[in-house]
Amino acid sequence: MTSLTRRTLLKTGAGAALAATLPMPALLAAEPIKIGVVQPFSGGLELFGGQAKIGLDLAAAEINAAGGILGRNVELIYEDDKTDPKTAVERTTSLIRRDKVIAVSGPITSNNRDAMMPTLSRAKVPLLYATNYEGGGCDRYLFSFNTVPNQELEKLLPIMKDQAGSSFYLFGADYVWPQKMFETATTIIGGIGGTVAGKEFTPFGVKDFAPVIRRIQDSGAKVLVFALPGADGITFIRQAEELGLLKTVKVAFLGFGELYLGAFGAGKAQDMWVALPFTQAIQTDAAKEFVAKVRKQSGADTPVSQYVFTHYVSLIAAKAAFEKSGAIDSEALVNGLEGIVVDSPTGKVTVGKDHHVTLEMFTAKTEGDGMVVVDDLGQIAPKSGCA
């Protein structure tokens, strides 16, 4: 009887009798906690949306198997934003009005997040955003569970200087995340005595990167800070390998992770570096246990990237926040999340008053057919861009 909703119970004679004997809270306790999920399951970034879903599904399954949150199960309601801001807003509005969700998880792109936030803020429904981004998202109803630029760059770039040299070239896609990453990178590079030999942005969909590869080669740069995600990034690295660029520069591939493995061919694209909050290459018992749980749920060959990890953590943090508040509604979630500390497969995750997270960070690089962890960088606090 506890799995039935109050509406279902009251449609039957038995339900009416039960309603006469049970207080209203006992009936309402069966109602699930509805959390909407707006992710790209089409439109070009579906690999990232799929990784987010894996992490959320695992967290929800664990929460529900352990008795739910304050006695109520979590129900995830998925919507495809098609990697399109207009669609993201439409799906968000539907989740709020039709499904009465208490929170929304997602999306991947900054454009979609920015398009969704006015709707969420007006409705006072929090967004659990678990994608690495450029910072500056400052709203009572926005919580970031992944990195902002300083967390990825402030220790990685000095390492790259020590590894390869002090001259850097910055190349990425022409949108807000690479632009803000490169602003932070330029400041850090200047502070460590380095120089920026060049900086370029490219539109999506370019097929021939030979001209920019030649410019990078001619610049004499020793480090390429690279922020071109998805298929375009793969195309660039393949062409850079063919034209010999990777023999003369060391690549810091921002946002690199398990989804790219195998895309370049056996023995290709070696010694590319990244700083990130999770990789399946971490060899601690807790991280290996997490990877094993994911693969038991989703398949033995499932890549387990930072996006699985951060979306998993976001839902675990939501559970802790509701329990801290002792209530289940949107404001209880917002109030409970501020300042909360939760355990994760890599250590403590702290949600600050600015709604961004302090995370354990790692450097990793490509080696052979996979990635290896070079160093545990420890806890790095975010410079969120929020007052």
Report the alpha-carbon distance of residue 227 to residue 382 in Å, rounded.
Answer: 19
pTM recorded for the entire structure: 0.90
Q: Is the dihedral of CA 319, 320, 324, 330 positive or negative?
A: negative
What is the predicted pLDDT for the residue at 178? Answer: 96
Q: What percent of the chain has pLDDT over 70?
A: 92
Q: Which amino acid does the sequence have at 207?
A: K
β-pair partners for 252: 225, 273
Distances 150 to 48, 73, 219, 361 between C-alpha atoms, Å? 22, 37, 26, 11
What is the predicted pLDDT for the residue at 26? Answer: 44
Report the alpha-carbon distance of residue 77 to residue 95 in Å, rounded.
Answer: 8
Distances 354 to 63, 182, 202, 339, 381 between C-alpha atoms, Å? 26, 23, 32, 9, 11
How does DSSP assign 321-337, residue by residue? HHHHHTS-SHHHHHHHH
CA nearest 143: which of 378, 327, 321, 300? 321
pLDDT tops 60 at residue 43: yes
What is the predicted pLDDT for the residue at 164? Answer: 98
Residue 115 CA, distance from chain mean position: 18
CA nearest 346: which of 150, 58, 146, 154? 146
What is the predicted pLDDT for the residue at 3? Answer: 33
**Enclosing H/E stretch for 302:** none
Per-residue pLDDT tens digits for 202-250:
999 999 999 999 999 999 999 999 999 888 999 999 999 999 999 999 9
What is the predicted pLDDT for the residue at 267? Answer: 86
Rounded average pLDDT over 255-263 = 92
Give 27's pLDDT tier (boundaries 50, 70, 90): very low
Residue 111: which residues within 8 A CB-CB, separation 6 or more?
Answer: 85, 175, 176
pLDDT tops 60 at residue 4: no
Average pLDDT, the chain: 92
What is the predicted pLDDT for the residue at 377? Answer: 98
What is the predicted pLDDT for the residue at 74? Answer: 98
β-pair partners for 378: 361
**Structural domains present in the chain:** 32-147+287-355 (3.40.50.2300), 150-276+363-380 (3.40.50.2300)
Report the alpha-carbon distance of residue 24 to residue 3 in Å, rounded.
Answer: 15
Q: What are phi and psi of 193, to 5 degrees?
A: 80, 20
Per-residue pLDDT tens digits for 101-123:
999 999 999 999 999 999 999 99
pLDDT tops 80 at residue 135: yes
Per-residue pLDDT tens digits for 168-205:
999 999 999 999 999 999 999 999 999 999 999 999 99
Residue 120 CA, distance from chain mean position: 19
CA nearest 152: which of 307, 273, 26? 273
Report the alpha-carbon distance of residue 225 to residue 145 in Å, rounded.
Answer: 24
What is the predicted pLDDT for the residue at 14? Answer: 36
Which of 18-27, 39-48, 81-90 has the highest mean predicted lDDT (pLDDT)?
81-90
Distances 113 to 121, 186, 204, 250 between C-alpha atoms, Å? 12, 26, 19, 32
Q: Choose the weakest-confidence range: 4-8, 35-39, 234-238, 257-261.
A: 4-8
Q: Choose the weakest-confidence range: 8-22, 130-144, 181-195, 247-261.
A: 8-22
Q: Is-contact 112 124, C-beta < 8 A?
A: no
Distances 357 to 70, 242, 254, 336, 337 between C-alpha atoms, Å? 25, 39, 19, 14, 11
pLDDT tops 80 at residue 19: no
